[in-house]
Amino acid sequence: MTFIVRDLDRMEEILTKVMDARKVYDSGSESFSTSRERFFVVGDIWIATMEGESLPTRTYNHIAFKISEAGYSTCLELVRSLGLEVREARSRVDGEGRSIYFHDEDNHLFELHTGTLEERLRRYAAGKPQAFT
């Protein structure tokens, strides 16, 4: 997964503080690719950040990361402490989990979600939504 960002330091702050990413590479002034880059690991996911122009607009295209229900408030506090714009979560049916959506300064949308695919499929298989939260 690669994100093109104007400010590598700012994206590093977001990844390390909010996603608990571990930086494993920094090109510094060297470049083996099209621009300066840094590599991070979040769980088993390799994330690359490369210096470049921001996305021109914001969309609902996003990447979601699993968080625990117990960690929800802490994650929300971390996102807000970094001055990131929190987007209102979409309506959800009971049993689907909760989400924190936020944009970075380059118009990437991230989701921190407490549920799992298995939980969502089980809830959807149970039938028509009864109530939105």
Cβ–Cβ < 8 Å for 33, 102: no
Q: For residues 78 and 16, what is the distance between their CA atoms, to the nearest angstrom?
A: 11
> Which is the catalytic residue, given 12, 13, 30, 37?
37
* Degrees, nearest 5: CA angle 113-115-118: 135
The half-sphere exposure of 73 on its side-chain side, counting CA atoms within 13 A, is 1
Cβ–Cβ < 8 Å for 75, 112: yes
Burial class (CB in 10 A: 0-12, 13-18, 19+), 127: exposed
Is position 88 annotated as part of the catalytic site? Answer: no
- The catalytic residue positions are 37
